[in-house]
Amino acid sequence: MTPATPLTLVYEDPALRIYWHEQHGYYLSDWQHVFRKGEDLRRSYRACIDAAKARPGSPWLIDASKYAVLDPADAKWVAEWFWPEFMKAGVRYQAAISPAKAVGKMSANRASETLAKMSTLESTPHATREEAEAAIIAWRAKQRLAK
């Protein structure tokens, strides 16, 4: 992603910023290095669902590189409530950047295990936003060819 990339901010709180990428038609969820739990954290996740409902089928670039560890109760909520609702909102593909810190990686690995059991959401891991964006562009091209 270049600095001139046309991004529109659609949601912001201390834990998360969600942008819409005008040129390539995807959401960027930019998770911040802020420990949140309970209702504060869940509000951020619900914002992802609201955005997904606004543009069903749009891919997501999940930048969790700064992501903090999840409280066990929140991790359970994410697995049991968020992921199913996110998919019901129409999300079919996400390109994800893993957390840089070990504690964040543990939370992300648990989420990946949950996603692997759900067959409707394709998720690919990436090291950078540029790699993730390239994967989204390739996924979109593949979807157009399949039509």
Q: Is residue 47 in some structural domain? A: yes
Q: Is residue 2 in some structural domain? A: no
CATH number of the domain where residue 134 is located? 3.30.750.24
pLDDT at 56: 93
pLDDT at 35: 77
Q: Is residue 83 in some structural domain? A: yes
pLDDT by residue (tens digit) across 79-130? 899 999 999 999 999 999 987 755 444 554 555 566 656 667 898 999 999 9
Q: Is residue 80 in some structural domain? A: yes
What is the number of structural domains in the chain? 1
pLDDT by residue (tens digit) across 31-83? 998 778 889 999 999 999 999 999 999 999 999 998 877 888 988 899 899 99
Tokens of 14: 């201390």
Residue 121: domain span = 7-146
Cα–Cα separations (whole angstroms), residue 85 to 15, 49, 52, 65, 147: 20, 7, 10, 23, 26
Q: Is residue 48 in some structural domain? A: yes
Q: Is the dihedral of CA 93, 102, 127, 8 positive or negative?
A: positive
pLDDT at 104: 47
Q: Is residue 1 in some structural domain? A: no
